[in-house]
Amino acid sequence: MKPSTTTPAGTIRHWAAAKAEAGTAEEPYRATTLAQAQAQARSRSRRADRPRLARLLGHWSGLVDGHPGGARDHTPVPPAEGGTVDVLPPFAGG
């Protein structure tokens, strides 16, 4: 069986302050690692009207396909085809 060369595509969902800063509830990604998906969202957020989202994405708490993903190294995490990354802003008090 030949390995797939397709880059996984999925959805980044923004919640609370992340949604307000992104100006959208959802956006697509096509990436081979979670770090790449975040970099795409960060690069889109560098527009003059959304500078705070880039900072927020540097300190996010979130879920990757329903599993906690905010605190770990995102470089080796492979997103699933059709997967979902939920971006939650940092919460006060832990």
Query: In this structure, what CATH number is given to the domain that contains residue 21?
Result: 3.10.20.30
Asked if residue 51 is part of any domain, the answer here is yes
Asked whether the beta carbons of 10 and 79 are under 8 A apart, the reply is yes
Q: CA 87 to CA 4: how far, in whole Å?
A: 28
Render pLDDT for 39-85 as a digit per residue (tens, 0 to 9): 887 777 655 566 677 777 777 777 888 887 766 676 677 788 999 98
Asked if residue 61 is part of any domain, the answer here is yes
Q: CA 54 to CA 23: how far, in whole Å?
A: 13
Instruction: Indicate the number of domains in the chain.
Output: 1
Asked if residue 70 is part of any domain, the answer here is yes
Q: Which residues are 87's β-sheet partners? A: 14, 62
Asked if residue 94 is part of any domain, the answer here is no
**The model's pTM:** 0.76
Asked if residue 21 is part of any domain, the answer here is yes
Q: Percentage of the chain surpassing pLDDT 70?
A: 74
Residue 5, SS3?
Answer: coil
Asked if residue 4 is part of any domain, the answer here is no
Domain enclosing residue 21, as ranges: 9-88
Q: Which of 80, 71, 86 is nearest to 41 (CA)?
A: 86
Asked if residue 93 is part of any domain, the answer here is no
For residue 46, give both structure tokens: 């560098």
